[in-house]
Amino acid sequence: GCVLVVSVIEQLAQWHNSTVKAAMEKLCDYIPGKFQIMCHFSCCIDREMNADVVCHSLRLCKQDPGQPLCHLYSPPKVKHSSGLFRALVHARPKRQIRSKSFMGFSSVCAFPLLANLCEKIKYVLRNKLPFEDFDGDKFSTFPTLRGYHWRGRDCNDKNTTVYPGRRPDNWDANSDSNCNGIWGVDPKDGIPYEEKFCKGADSKGVVLLGDSAGAHFHIPPEWMTVTQMSAKSFDNLPMAFSDELDWPQFSEITGFLNSTIGGWTDSLYLRLRKRNRCNHRDLQNISQNVYFPINIAPCLSFSLARNQLLDNPAIVIYATIGNDVCNGERDTLAHMTTPKEMLSNVVQALQYLDSHLPNGSHVILTGLVDGRFLWDNLHDRYHPLGQLNKDVTYRQLYSFLDCLQVSPCSGWLTPNETLRNLTSERALQLSNVLKEIARSEKFANFDIFYMDFPLRQTAEEWRKMGGEPWQLIEPVDGFHPSQIAAALGTGITWQKALHEWPQVLGKENPFNDQIEAIFKDQGGY
């Protein structure tokens, strides 16, 4: 974090030919007030010292005994540079910074007045539940903090029997019990609109059980690219942080808003809604940002909102495309999920789903990605932090994160080709476990399918459109699928389902145009 902030400040000073102090003031003008904690840095930054040196000298970065010295930038190119670099990073800054300026940020939850709030936030994030949910039905009228960016928007947060995805109460003759905006009675014949337009329409929702890729993790490159930086660059900062730097509202499975982070939005939910307008708002994104193997089953009991007796069936996408092989450990292979563990974890989750999903649901297991694509297409390109001076490549970023032991995937983000191949070999083994589960396991309340993660098809489709493979990867973290990749992946998944599992998508509703005409003001998100 320190290296990132100091890099941006130094590059701002260079780009605007100003002092560090002036650059710091400019950055603080850009950033919303409550996020200006880094504004204490300017007293300690020297433009002649790179960010690694500054952060080590501030003691915000450290070198543990027996561990390598972690640095993002190359050491100075002078004789005895290694010794000089080590001396610089252990030097004291010209002026000392008060340590309590940073202590407050990390220990804010220690204050009695904030302790309860912090505990609630931790509970919400741990269980993937909305922060504001007054009736406790796991749906919210608030967008972020696991609100309706993640799940369909509640239309009555004071009534626990009103929420997206339920079967209509008395055909919603008097009020909208399932929040799809269709309710009331047709005065011409006295038939409730929900009964007229949605009865027998095979309505169903979509639920994603995923990792950070499914949550659509994204750090805007304009936050650290000084040639593009302006006050507008940080307009989305508060929203991004309260959504954990995820953008599920633009994601491949549950996206529903037009993308503001490049590319375009296309999602399984939007296509299901277009196919059947009665599916409006019936979505749940139960994904989490972690870089270690996930056993989804334990969190389902807290997070999944589906009543087997009262709700519509659902299409559940099980897509942890990298976490079972990705970790930041030095001995990364030893910390990967084994095929035996994968079988146990997935079957446990499926058994839970079978006891909670309404009959007629569907589950799609998505295979793991072949992450060699990342190194092959990015390692020699410049990261956003390195574009101004051509001094930081993705190879350097990956090495820096690996040295700090915070790499999102040590097995793939490495110059070690043998390790990359072994990681992909394990990913294929785990995908084969999922494929075998889909082939052999049977459940009472849903059928089950398997599909490979469509990276190869996505890259081919993008090439046909004139794009380059590296554009399918998030530019800042160099790891997650980009907005373009998410949108293209939706089309590939949809076509596969349409041709191989048409029963999953349900039939097209012949009344869609009539619904839109009558309820055009009721379809907002």
Residues designated as active site = 212
At residue 449, the 3 state secondary structure works out as strand
Distance CA 311, CA 165 (A): 6
Beta strands in 94-202 (DSSP E): none
Distance CA 451, CA 229 (A): 40
At residue 120, the 3 state secondary structure works out as helix
Distance CA 81, CA 429 (A): 45
3-state helix, strand, coil in the chain (%, to 5): 45, 10, 50
Angle of CA points 382, 383, 384, to nearest 5°:
115
The residues that bridge with 95 in the sheet, in sequence order, are none
Q: Which of 160, 138, 161 is nearest to 151 (CA)?
A: 138
In what helix (H) or strand (E) does residue 6 lie, and over which residues does it extend?
Answer: helix 2-15
Encoded amino acid at 80, one letter: H
Write 234-242 long-range contacts (CB < 8 A, 24+). Answer: 234/30, 234/31, 234/32, 234/35, 236/260, 237/31, 237/32, 237/35, 238/32, 238/34, 238/35, 239/143, 239/144, 241/35, 242/144, 242/145
Angstrom distances, CA of residue 365 to CA of 404, 433, 460? 33, 10, 23
- Say if CB 261 and CB 235 are below 8 A apart: no
> How many residues are given for the chain?
525
- Say if CB 290 and CB 253 are below 8 A apart: no
The full 3-state SS of 44-104, as one line of letters, equals HCCCCCCHHHHHHHCCCCCCCCCCCCCCCCCCCCCCCHHHHHHHHHCCCCCCCCCCHHHHH
At residue 393, the 3 state secondary structure works out as strand
**255 token code pair:** 């996206």
Block residue for tokens 């563990």: 341
Encoded amino acid at 168, one letter: P
- Say if CB 322 and CB 413 are below 8 A apart: no
